[in-house]
Amino acid sequence: MHTRILSLISTLFSISLTLTSCYHEIDLDKYRNESGKDLLTLNSIITPDSLIALSATKTFFFSDKHPESIPVEDLDINISMNGVNAGSLYYDPSKRLYMSDIKPKVDDVVEISTEYMGKTVYAKESVPRDVPIEDVSVRVKGPLTDEYGQRYYSFTYDITFLDNGEEENYYFFRFKESPSDPKAPWKSTILGTIDYSHNIVFQKLKDYMGDAAPSWLMWNPAGLPFSDEVINGNKYHLTVIEDVIERNISVEMKRDFNLFAINKAYFDYIIGNLMYVESTDETPTGMIDLGLADPIRTFTNIHNGIGIFGCYTLSEKRLDVLDMVSINQSMRDR
């Protein structure tokens, strides 16, 4: 046995020397993609609530040092609304963004285009209609006891909305703790463990992603996208379960329910990030800060370039859950 171990160590040591030798011989520069180095990266997420803003940056090779994105500041970026020229975006150096004084409206077809390295880089998308949250109901069970002996309450939320059956629709749902009062943060009940698995729309999402679906998909605190494939034209009750440790429940338990109606390109982009990007903390209102700089394996809808041109409308409700249920009553009923 002692001889076998020595033999194994010797073999592993030899392999490590071989790998070290190979490492020093690799010339990464020869793998640079000549067609990829001149790609322009455009990222913009537009919504009727905000002025149009767009970031334009250069791509870089994955082994290059890039502490921050490199903006392209001298572009003439044209914008058109419903086929009518609406002028050019202006560059704001303080924000490092190209800006417009235009706020798009629902159903507007927005196109951005510019010339870069002899090519026309462009994207064209339509702003989706908003889908209002009609109602949010809450049920509670508890106190229950988990496997570690901790007492907790299980809150079930049913979020009701009506899908538009005339077209394919895509959504992003986010459930989160409302911002606490900075003068009295102790009043707030911190977000518990979230479970999205009781929804057919999210089960279909998991099936669509297949083996690439992360194990934490149904518990992702940043929210999840879904399509109307299995609910087309129907009223749907989206269910979210939140388990909160009893000792964490405070005076208030305010929660935000956000239903984003998004364009298909944005839907594909978010799925790509869920499948291939480790950090998924970014949500629709923050995606413009993420963008695409490395040529990672994800979706882009920028023609002759790379990036994402996304559109969304938002319906939201904010509720204090403790105003809707009685914890003491639930304890008597268990």
What digits encode the pLDDT tens for the residues 61-82?
444 555 567 889 999 999 999 9
Paired strand residues for 55 = 43
Q: What is the pTM of this model?
A: 0.80
| Closest CA relative to residue 59, chosen from 309, 265, 296, 277 | 296
Question: What is residue 227's predicted lDDT score, i.e. its pLDDT?
Answer: 95
- Average per-residue pLDDT for the chain: 82
Q: pLDDT per residue over 161-203, tens digit each?
A: 999 888 899 999 999 999 988 888 899 999 999 999 999 999 9
Given a contact cutoff of 8 angstroms between Cβ atoms, the answer to whether 179 and 162 are in contact is no
What value does the mean pLDDT take over residues 270-291?
56
Residue 305 CB burial class (10 angstroms; 0-12, 13-18, ≥19): buried
The four Cα atoms 242, 172, 163, 209 give a dihedral, to 10 degrees, of -90
The percent of residues in the chain predicted with pLDDT above 90, rounded, is 63
CA 75 to CA 80: how far, in whole Å?
A: 16
Q: pLDDT per residue over 202-225, tens digit each?
A: 999 999 888 888 889 999 888 999
Token code pair at residue 86: 């609406």
Q: pLDDT per residue over 103-132, tens digit each?
A: 999 999 999 999 999 999 999 999 999 999
| Closest CA relative to residue 43, chosen from 28, 24, 29, 58 | 58
Q: pLDDT per residue over 227-269, tens digit each?
A: 999 999 899 999 999 999 999 999 999 999 999 999 999 999 9
Instruction: List C-alpha distances in Å: 100 to 54, 76, 86, 103.
Output: 9, 12, 10, 8
